[in-house]
Amino acid sequence: EAQVTQNPRYLITVTGKKLTVTCSQNMNHEYMSWYRQDPGLGLRQIYYSMNVEVTDKGDVPEGYKVSRKEKRNFPLILESPSPNQTSLYFCASSLSVGETQYFGPGTRLLVL
Amino acid sequence: AQTVTQSQPEMSVQEAETVTLSCTYDTSENNYYLFWYKQPPSRQMILVIRQEAYKQQNATENRFSVNFQKAAKSFSLKISDSQLGDTAMYFCAFMKHRADYGGSQGNLIFGKGTKLSVKP
């Protein structure tokens, strides 16, 4: 089944404790992206990757890191999480830029 | 910088009726993509419709159609014969065309969403 998977789906952590949210797609897509969703703000793009080894900042990249070492995976790293990073996070992928993006199920993160 | 505005935070419609959700955007680009995504209570993001700005014809997908007015920078979504399963948040989104260089090609910008309730 063609899909985007994210792990974990739910995470509670404490301020400053490094964490990684994984994202994987099995559709051989070139483009991958991370978004956060907050009430009243819609979805905002954190980082995106046009293809392997090419990443770029979205609208809210502060406090996040990404890497794209292989086509199928695009992990999101929070080196020192803070409470303002409490949010619902989505990973998405598409065949190429501008094509339909397929979203993962979301990761709900709570930083205490 | 590009912006996307959805001026209706909430809307409701009776089952079987037609509803239109508005979206306007601001850009100096000539080529770009526009999308409508649906997010039901399950939180899953699902594409409803995609439009390429250079195409004059309005995109349609079954009961969903758009009214794309490029000069007015407007991209409204019409849902015909509304069904209970259409109850969801609807997000309009904008992306520059891949042929336009200068960075930010992959930057997808969302509006803040319209919460649609379909009532029986």
- Over residues B74-120, the pLDDT tens digits come to 999 999 999 999 999 999 999 987 654 445 578 899 999 999 999 99
* pLDDT score, position B104: 54
Of A15-19, B22-26, B53-57, B84-88, least confident by mean pLDDT is: B53-57
CB contact under 8 A, A59 and B109: yes
- Over residues A37-57, the pLDDT tens digits come to 999 899 999 999 998 988 999
For the residues B6-34, what does the mean pLDDT come to?
95
The nearest alpha carbon in chain A to B2 belongs to A59
- Work out the pLDDT band at A98, boundaries 50, 70, 90: confident
* pLDDT score, position B116: 98
Taken as a whole, chain B contains a residue count of 120
CA A57 to chain centre: 12
The nearest alpha carbon in chain B to A108 belongs to B43
* pLDDT score, position A9: 97
* pLDDT score, position B98: 61
- Over residues B40-54, the pLDDT tens digits come to 999 999 999 999 998
How many Å lie between the alpha carbon of A112 and the closest alpha carbon of chain B?
Answer: 23
The nearest alpha carbon in chain A to B38 belongs to A103
Interfacial residues of A (vs B; Cβ cutoff 8 Å): 31, 33, 35, 40-45, 48-50, 56, 58-59, 88, 90, 92, 96-98, 100-103, 105-106
In three-state form (DSSP H/G/I as H, E/B as E, the rest C), the secondary structure along chain B is: CCEEECCCCEEEEECCCCEEECCEEECCCCCEEEEEEEECCCCCCEEEEEEECCCCCCCEECCEEEEEECCCCEEEEEECCCCHHHCEEEEEEEEECCCCCCCCCCCEEECCCEEEEEEC
Nearest to B105 among A35, A90, A97 (CB): A97
* pLDDT score, position B99: 52
Asked if residue A19 has pLDDT above 90, the reply is yes
Nearest to A98 among B46, B97, B111 (CB): B97
| Distance separating alpha carbons of residues B15 and B17, to the nearest angstrom | 6
Who has greater pLDDT, B8 or A53? B8
Q: Which two tokens stand for residue B88?
A: 């969801």
Nearest to A31 among B104, B106, B109 (CB): B106
Q: Report chain A residues whose CB lies below 8 A from the CB of B88.
A: none
